[in-house]
Amino acid sequence: MQLPMGFWIRSREEVQSANPVVDPHIVISINTPGDGPADVVRNDNTLFVMPFFFDDLDGDPGEAYRAYMERDAVLFNEDMAGDIIEALRDQVDPAERTIKGIVVHCDAGISRSAGVGAALALWFNGEEQLYGRGLVPNKLVYRTMLNVLQQKGLIG
């Protein structure tokens, strides 16, 4: 029987105040460029924290590109998606994996973290279902994650 991977989508404030996750897990820490990294609360079950810095740009590529040019924003890209996927690649086989859960956070815990989380849930669990308050996956992040997962032959 395959046990699904657990996913927790959190805000920056939530991961800096508590970590109640009892299963072995990693934290994907999404931060805004210019801000310092989140001071993620770890517990004995936190295996590692992966920090990333990119802006919460969404919508069509034209909109994201204009915002990038106007603000010198940092866009989520295939290299970042590849780094996340490669760090987790050995964890796909449920018989072999040590990680039982993934905590993904961003500033509000709604958009960037949900984009990463939904794509990873599709890869690990076969469905992109995430449970949480008002989650609206960032389309640019989600599409980029799915593109790289498909390029690597990890999803159909």
Q: Delineate the domains of the chain, giving CATH numbers in brackets.
A: 6-150 (3.90.190)
pLDDT digits (tens, 9 = 90+) for 50-84: 999 999 887 655 665 666 666 677 889 999 999 99
Q: Return the amino acid letter for 2.
A: Q
pLDDT digits (tens, 9 = 90+) for 103-122: 999 999 999 999 999 999 99
Tokens 């690597």 belong to 152
Tokens 């998606």 belong to 81
Closest by CA to 119, choosing from 92, 137, 148, 146, is 146
What is the pLDDT of the chain when averaged over all its residues?
A: 87
Selected residue with higher pLDDT from 72 and 125: 125
pTM, rounded to two decimals? 0.89
Residues with Cβ within 8 Å of 35's Cβ and at least 6 positions away in sequence, in order, are: 53
Phi/psi zone of residue 18: left (φ > 0), alpha (ψ -120 to 50 degrees), beta? Answer: beta
